[in-house]
Amino acid sequence: MLFQTDIAIVGSGIAGLSFAIKLAEARPDLDISIFTKEYPESGNTIKAQGGIAVVLNNEQDSFESHLEDTIKAGKGFNDPEVVRMVVEQAPQRLTELMQWGSNFDLSQNGDFDLGLEGGHSFNRILHKQDFTGFEIQTKLLAKAASYPNIKLFSRYFVTDLIIKSNEGVNTCVGIRALNLTKNILSEIKSKVTLLATGGSGKLFHNTTNPPVATADGVAMAYNAGADIADMNFIQFHPTALFEKNHGPLFLISEAVRGYGAYLVNNKGKRFLFQHDSRGELATRDIISASILKELSDSGEKCVYLDCRHLDQKKFADHFPTIVEYCRKKGINVETDTIPVIPAAHYQCGGIKVDKNAQTSIKNLFASGECSCTGLHGSNRLASNSLLEAIVFSHQAVKYLLPRLDKISRQPNSISMESRSRIAYQKGKTLEKLKDRLKALMTYELVYLTTPFEKENALKELKLMRGLIKQEFDKNCFSAEYFEIRNLVTAAYLVLEHAILFQKKHRPKCSTFS
């Protein structure tokens, strides 16, 4: 059983893996441990369809344009210095991904086949057909496996951070991890901890996120006293495949609209130009709000993506995963429109970090979707997420390398074995709480209701938190318990931040403007 490591990384997506690889390359003497709640392929990185935004053609495109597009998409709530740092590092970080094995599509003349997505002024999206995340994830896992000092622990649910306080300074000295195979909760000490745990999409009934997206990193950081910011900035992707009683929903990539698909109502009419002059190339927040307005007015359950006018051979070559999934669901994209609805997709806020991915707790870092870096503002520009993760993991490594040897090791802890598994009746209660949470947390609640309505929902969340604390004691070592605890904590933060934001900005920030 592992009780100590130099570096504890929670999460095995692009943020965690790139951090581990860079540290292993620079310091072969370090013990680097990656913990993942399920398996390395269970997170969001592997599901990314669109690609990674990088300015490569400076004659047409520019860093300045990418910066402006990012800030416009984020409604100006971005940190301009962070945006500039990220877009200007993009070519270097792309080169590293390629050196580690990732490949991207090329055009017939041998240049990168750069795609266009909503909110971008130029074609600047590198992709591998419609499975870019799979390409990156598999190559990073293979690269990480080549380093003997990187060890990956699957089915280890990290539940809490171990914090040491001294003269008003809180320092992270390790993690508590539940071995889901053996049902043992242990303390694992570390010099440095990186949270790369992904988002909170499972808060919502309609989501594109995998089952593991239960806000674990945000919740454990908040419980440890770390600063959390902008949790109300939840991005809904406008085009998730509409399926009844199905979750997570299959994502129809942003790149499909960038490729030329139309968004139409049940009468076959395009409606987005009524809301934004960019039509299908408007940003995700505007398109999601426009769809919900259309559905509210019409009483319909979904709208449709129309790809029938496109070159079908080229479309199938470019989006093989989407075409095949639709086919399995009885949808022929050559002759049928694709039913879609908005679904919770990306958490723009999270654990507050600086330019080096440092949180407000010493020796605790965060990268990827669980962090709030200042890049996205209120709405993420398409294909900026993979880029953000590799840039901030790079920044963390660069900051840590000259400082690691000054961080002292902590004494080992003793393993704590669970005395009882969760009782059946308690399990049913947890499921009821999770169902109620999904029914409560909707786009309308977060973005369209009044502060008074949000405060009523907040009261219900307080009752849920109290019930969880009362009903489930420390002997309840189950993933279900920790997940619902984390989800309710994240929901509370989303609404709390939404109320504060709405009171401050609502008069000049309308969803349908």
Residues designated catalytic: 284
SS3 341: strand
Cis peptide before 320 (omega within 30 of 0): no
Q: Calculate the CA 204 to chain-centre distance.
A: 14
Instruction: Please state, in angstroms and rounded to a whole number, the distance separating the CA atoms of residues 238 and 195.
Output: 28
Can you give 141-186 as a three-state secondary structure string? HHHHHCCCCEEEEECEEEEEEEEEEECCEEEEEEEEEEECCCCEEE
Count Cβ atoms within 10 A of the Cβ of residue 239 and give its class: 0-12 exposed, 13-18 middle, 19 or more buried: buried
Residue 110, phi-psi category: left (phi > 0), alpha (psi -120 to 50), beta (remainder) = left
| Backbone CA torsion sign across 16, 21, 26, 31 | positive
- Note whether 242 and 340 are within 8 A (CB): yes
Output the DSSP codes for 290-315: HHHHHHHHH--S-EEEE-TTS-HHHH
SS3 362: strand
Residue with tokens 């910011």, as numbered in its chain = 229
H or E segment and range at residue 389 = helix 385-400
Instruction: Please state, in angstroms and rounded to a whole number, the distance separating the CA atoms of residues 80 and 85.
Output: 9
H or E segment and range at residue 9 = strand 4-10
- Note whether 100 and 139 are within 8 A (CB): yes
User: Beta-strand (E) ranges in 246-402?
Assistant: 262-264, 303-306, 338-347, 350-352, 364-366, 371-372
